[in-house]
Amino acid sequence: MKIWIKYLIGIAFGFILSFVLPAENPAVREIAATVSSLLTNFGRYALYPVLFFSFAVSVYELRESRSLFKTGLLSALVIAAATVLCAVTGVIGALIYTPARIPIFIEGAGDARQIGIWESLGKLFPASAFEVFSDGAFILPLCIFAGFLGAGCAVDKTTAKPVLAFFDSFSRVAYAVLGFFVDILSVGFIGISVYWFFLYREMLSYGFFLNFILILAAHVVFLAVVVYPLLLRFICGVKQPYRVLYASLAPVAAAFFSGDANLTLSVLLRHVNESLGVRRRISSIVTPMFSAFSRGGSALTVIISFMVILHSYSSLGISFSDILWLTGTSILLSFFLARFPAGGAYVLLATICAMYGRGFEAGYLILRPAAFFICSAAAAVDALTAVFGTCLIAQKMNMRNSQETRFFI
């Protein structure tokens, strides 16, 4: 059975259970939240070993083939272009269809986390390289350490031969373990989706978020069905771009209901390798980089959310200069969300409100009941971007072996 079908079955069971269980009971909600958190951690449990060993081996192989710089440059360009595309799509969509106002029903000071650019940069190089294994959320320090090891192996190949053999073997074993966790996660989505539907029903109970979530959903569908397939068709000449969309069903479902980039990365690695046929030396580097830096979905949802906040507080509209500031700031700050695998979009929104000032410092609070949906939509777009972006880069570098749809996992 296809993985995406297993996930949908688990989500369907979760949907049914969310109506069977008493959602209004605080104890039940607390248990559901705890179970959801535990299952999310379970979903990303096997990621770090695969990421570390595969990243190191891939850096060595790309360096040996003299294509490491080309891969990095192409990845950076695609990530930047995709982020700008998502942000501009959000601006145009919000201007064409003005979101409905949301009553200001929450007052008080904000308490959300800020992005903390300097803090993020400081964590890239901890006091000891072995500290990178202790942070289960921020994958960049781990990738940097693995990259140095892979590059170091290319300096003295004779000495590094047993190390490379060990790394390659361990990465394959770890990948097999990851495959088990990705498969069994279909059961975990029962618990994850129960809590998600609890939050969704609570959000709808307010009575004025429906227009907002429909706008976000429309943008996700537009990017998935129209924009990304067309770009893949005309830039890479892929004759059947919707096969890539089909291969992204499970990662997008995982991203949407978990809202967690690291859990989604586990699912992404399997699907770009086994469904899209991307070679390991590309997917092991490019896909994690998309997971860390390509947060165009966060930029898109934050732009729409901030315009909703402005429209809710004032009827004066938004000036062209403010649109440029909002777009540029959202794009730039989205590149620093790597240490927030979950909830990054809402953190970005809180930061944008604080930077904008003018009495809007706590404006993000009116969207707090919909914060989970903002993050879900952002994660879904980011998963789509990772799948299509990895496929595009692999296609450009002739590192992809196409296979029939019936062999997709």
Compute the distance between CA of residue 33 and CA of residue 10 in angstroms, rounded to an integer: 17
Tokens of 198: 């609890």
Contact of 375 with 344, CB cutoff 8 Å: yes
> What is the average pLDDT score of the chain?
87
DSSP string, 231-269: HHHHHH--S-THHHHHHTHHHHHHHHHH-BHHHHHHHHH
pLDDT of residue 316: 65
DSSP string, 137-148: S--HHHHHHHHH
Indicate the pLDDT class of residue 195, thresholds 50, 70 and 90. very high
Find the domain containing 15 and state its range.
3-407
pTM of the predicted protein model? 0.91
Distances (CA, A) of 295 to 79, 289, 341, 357: 9, 11, 10, 24
- Here the CATH number for the domain that contains residue 7 is 1.10.3860.10
pLDDT of residue 78: 93
pLDDT at 325 over 80: yes
Contact of 377 with 90, CB cutoff 8 Å: no
Tokens of 282: 């590309």
Average pLDDT (338-364) is 85
Average pLDDT (58-82) is 90
Contact of 305 with 367, CB cutoff 8 Å: yes
pLDDT of residue 15: 92
Tokens of 284: 């092991």
Sign, CA dihedral 172-133-271-288, equals negative
pLDDT at 342 over 80: yes
Indicate the pLDDT class of residue 82, thresholds 50, 70 and 90. very high
Tokens of 172: 């394959």
pLDDT at 79 over 60: yes
Q: 101-160 pLDDT, tens per residue?
A: 777 766 555 566 777 788 878 888 887 778 888 777 888 888 999 998 888 888 877 787
Q: 240-296 pLDDT, tens per residue?
A: 888 888 989 999 999 999 989 999 999 999 999 888 888 888 989 999 999 999 999
Task: Provide the number of structural domains found in the chain.
Answer: 1
Percent of the chain with pLDDT over 90: 38
pLDDT of residue 110: 54
